[in-house]
Amino acid sequence: MYEDLPRTKREAQQLGAKRYFTGRLCCHGHLSPRYTYGACIACKSEQRKKARKIVPLAIRKALLKEANSSGASIAPALVKGCH
């Protein structure tokens, strides 16, 4: 079902497509197309679900505040993708 997508990021960019499909697993084991800005679609939707479930907005705001006041950076795992 993803065969119509470009196979590489470069190809996708040349075609002006937002997604491409390499046919390879991402580092989290998803066989899923990727966005040209560098994220696997399955990872993205999982991140979104997790963010909603595990870290409610109020807590995230509190964490941000704390991180800002202590000068530390926010937990990179929450922000950083794998690609």
Point out which residues bind Zn ion (CB under 5 A): 26, 28, 30, 40, 42-43
Tell me the closest approach of the beta carbon of residue 50 to Zn ion, in angstroms: 13
Chain position whose Cβ is nearest to Zn ion: 40
The residue (of 39 and 55) whose beta carbon lies closer to Zn ion is 39
Q: How many CA atoms lie within 13 A of 70 on its CB side?
A: 10
Question: Residue holding tokens 């479930």?
Answer: 53
Give the rounded distance of the alpha carbon of 38 from its chain centre. Answer: 8
83: tokens are: 């690609």
The residue (of 5 and 43) whose beta carbon lies closer to Zn ion is 43
